[in-house]
Amino acid sequence: MSKPSLPAGTRDFGPDVVRKRNHILDTIRSAFQRYGYQPLETPAFENMETLMGKYGEEGDKLIFKILNNGLDNPEKEAKVRAGFETVLQGKSSTDITERALKYDLTIPFARYVAMNHGQLTFPFKRYQIQPVWRADRPQKGRYREFYQCDADVVGSRSLLYEAELACLYHEVFTNLGLTGYTLLVNHRSLLLALADRCGNQDWLVPITVAIDKLDKIGLEKVKTELTQKQIPSAAIEQIEKYLSVEGTADSVLEQLNALLGEIPEGAAGIGALREWMGYLADQPVSFRIDPTLARGLNYYTGMIFEVKAPATVSMGSIGGGGRYDDLTGLFGVSDVPGVGISFGVDRIYDVMEALELFPSDIAQPPRILFFNLGITEGKVTFGLLQELRKKGIAADMYPESAKFDKQFKYAEKRGITYVAILGESELKTQTIQLKNLSTGTQSTLSHTDFLNIELS
RNA sequence: GUGGUUGUAGCUCAGCUGGUUAGAGCAUCAGAUUGUGGUUCUGAGGGUCGCCGGUUCGAACCCGGUCAUCCACCCCA
């Protein structure tokens, strides 16, 4: 029997961790509800065709596939062998795997909307807090099973929603005490306009992939990568101009206007950002327009968001989102535009742990531990224990008669402040001793007085 | 998927150029102390040195493989 172990990239969450996670999840959930989003849950796994091809080529590789049952059925042997050949060629075959674990919450949501669009009232706002799975190689801040918290609204093109989602980010991170975050925004149309300016809109993907790395690898390496991707040098000059844009939001938009304003997509993107900023003018939301922000998921078409953790913790992005014009079109229902954001709870947890942002009173041990001093005494003690529990006071009792030393130490380890002692002599006098472990004070009380006590 | 790091007690780690019986701190258990904890003292239990093979008179240590781990790249929350 080998030692038990966990699959790579997964974790158990002990009591302390769950409490802290719940603190984050509760903060997010209550904000979602205040903004009028409704809860939704979808299955852990979906049909393969629901997920495949939605996240790009890289994404497909990272989808966890579930092996079909009954592959040993002799009647299916030919099919299974053919399917296996397909898999060996690096493709996927539903003859081997027809289901896969969900990779994010957005695509399953799109599937849900496509299946239920007849019943839904638009604009439909939903939030969803569930685990997702990625067959990535784990490393810092990257897990194979992690939670996403998404808020999306479908059925409207109004930029009011982009504005409210920015407020939502601000509210959640402020309530968590994570004030050092940065909200980066951009508009896909600007990137499209840049590709156009360079001479070919098909260059959108290679250009965005390269410039997205600017702050990581520097301008020279970005230019090298663009050259390698056969982007002509005249185009790279344009890109370099685009990348040099910086400053306040207004100044960035002005510079972009000079660069891309003549191109319809450019004008549209700049206009959208201006309108969005108008809604936020009197809101406490802070953000930065980052023309290099691209985001990998290829279904985004409008504004895109990314939340960066404070630079001191090197954690990369702890949230992201954007507008997609036609996500449900992938499932045969067109004309349902949407916009949404996501919180990466596991990374937020890591960041808050690193910055020591969790409140210290997050542990909730029972208030009182009843000592166990024998079966006869225990009967009375158990009765009092249940009375306290009925009154809503968290209390616990030591399971068997043991030395005081042991019972005291147990109370301390669990962080319990009060112990209640009912032994032979208290049994006779129908009293109980209540001791406060942090002050050391102790008093003898009648049972009724004890049950009415106000704990400090 | 590619490259590297590290695997020694429940946890964090020592362990010399290969040399008798592999250590420490914390944790656990017991006692000092049979109805009053935190501190202290004493003692005990706990290890196939990740696993498999090789070199050697001899391997925790050197070599090969393998598994796990963490980190970086790719990509991403």
Domains identified in chain A and CATH numbers: 1-64+103-181+309-364 (3.30.930.10), 188-287 (no CATH), 365-451 (3.40.50.800)
Nearest Cα to A115, choosing from A172, A69, A46?
A46
Q: Which of residues 187-216 of A touch strand B (CB under 7 A)?
A: 209, 213, 216
Contact flag, residue A255 CB and nucleic strand B, below 7 A: no
Instruction: Judge whether A135 and A7 are in contact, CB under 8 Å.
Output: no
Residue A434 in tokens? 């209540």
Please tell me what DSSP assigns to residue A5: -
Contact flag, residue A322 CB and nucleic strand B, below 7 A: no
More confident site: A87 or A41 = A41
| Model confidence at A221: pLDDT above 50 | yes
| Model confidence at A298: pLDDT above 80 | no
d(Cα A450, Cα A421) in Å, to the nearest integer? 11
pLDDT of residue A13: 85
Alpha helices in A261-319 (DSSP H): 264-280
d(Cα A269, Cα A250) in Å, to the nearest integer? 14
Spacing of A87 CA from B65 C1' in Å:
28
Please tell me what DSSP assigns to residue A120: P
Q: Which nucleotides of B are covered by protein (CB under 7 A)?
A: 1-3, 28, 30-31, 33-38, 68-77
Contact flag, residue A62 CB and nucleic strand B, below 7 A: yes
Q: Does the interface predicted TM-score (ipTM) exceed 0.85? A: no
Residue A1 in tokens? 């029997």
Contact flag, residue A340 CB and nucleic strand B, below 7 A: no
d(Cα A242, Cα A192) in Å, to the nearest integer? 12
CB burial of residue A154 (10 Å; 0-12, 13-18, 19+): buried
Spacing of A14 CA from B61 C1' in Å:
37
pLDDT of residue A1: 40
pLDDT of residue A3: 65
Residue nearest the C1' of B50 (CA based): A3
- Tell me which of A205-209, A289-293, A305-309 is least confident: A205-209
- Rounded to 5 degrees, φ, ψ at A127 are -120, 155
Which three-class secondary structure string do you get for A121-182?
CCCEEEEEEEEEECCCCCECCECCEEEEEEEEEECCCCCHHHHHHHHHHHHHHHHCCCCCCE
pLDDT of residue A59: 86
- Mean of pLDDT values over A162-179: 96
Spacing of A11 CA from B21 C1' in Å:
39
Residue A305 — very low, low, confident or very high, per pLDDT cuts 50/70/90?
A: very high
Contact flag, residue A403 CB and nucleic strand B, below 7 A: yes
pLDDT of residue A212: 82
Q: Under DSSP, is residue A28 helix (H, G, I), strand (E, B) or coil?
A: helix
- Mean of pLDDT values over A319-325: 92
User: Which residue shows structure tokens 């009843």?
Assistant: A370
Residue A8 — very low, low, confident or very high, per pLDDT cuts 50/70/90?
A: confident
pLDDT of residue A443: 92
Nearest Cα to A68, choosing from A41, A90, A87?
A87
